[in-house]
Amino acid sequence: MKYVSLAISAIDRFTDWTGRMVSWLTLAMVLMTLVVVVLRYYFQSGSIALQESITYLHGLVFMLGIAFTLQRGGHVRVDIFYRGFSPEKKALVDLLGGLLFLLPVSLLIFVFSWDYVVASWAIGETSEERSGIQGIYLLKTLLLLMPATLMLQGLAEILKSTLVLLGKPPVSTPPIESNHLEPLI
């Protein structure tokens, strides 16, 4: 059980760190959007690369923030009944949901995205715009990173639920409030 707890803690720390890092990109996105608007409406100028970078950041925030959201229980769920369940019943629902839905769907996304991403890397796919960002293959790589991080955190959540069902003390997740790198999302 010690190794299970260590694995859960390691995954949670990784997810917490990546989630907090990615959350800062929302601030960058807002600032870049402000720059695009000011350039366009006050200086009648613009930058395709700057506009595309906002899209890249948007993708990064949502695709790499999904595991962080799972860790914090922030995904949408129909909890009319769930909220009244005992911790053991909640753990059973979470365990079954993780095993029957989360892991298989994440794996399917990974498998079906693989060839698409590899093909993009093989040709060094770039923006259709001459002055755009020349690394679309990097953006498409998120199609593999998202399900990978989601499966990793899903595994931690499944292990936590299993521990609860076995009557073991739950492994604590990183606190929502922390003195360092407060998430912006």
Q: Report the alpha-carbon distance of residue 114 to residue 126 in Å, rounded.
A: 18
Poorest-pLDDT segment among 16-25, 71-80, 158-167: 71-80
Give the angle 110-49-137 at the CA atoms, nearest 5°.
25
* Average pLDDT, rounded, for the chain: 90
Q: Extract the tokens encoding 25.
A: 């990109």
Query: What pLDDT is attached to residue 79?
Result: 75
Q: Name the residue type at position 70.
A: L
φ, ψ for residue 45, nearest 5 deg? -135, 170
What pTM value is reported for the model?
Answer: 0.85
Of 47-56, 78-87, 148-157, 171-180, the least confident: 171-180
Q: Give the model confidence (pLDDT) of 5-21 as tens digits.
A: 999 999 999 999 999 99
How many angstroms separate the Cα of 46 from the Cα of each of 108, 139, 152? 39, 22, 40
Tokens at 175, concatenated = 């606190």
Extents of the domains making up the chain: 2-165
**Helix, strand, coil percentages, rounded to 5, for the chain:** 75, 0, 25
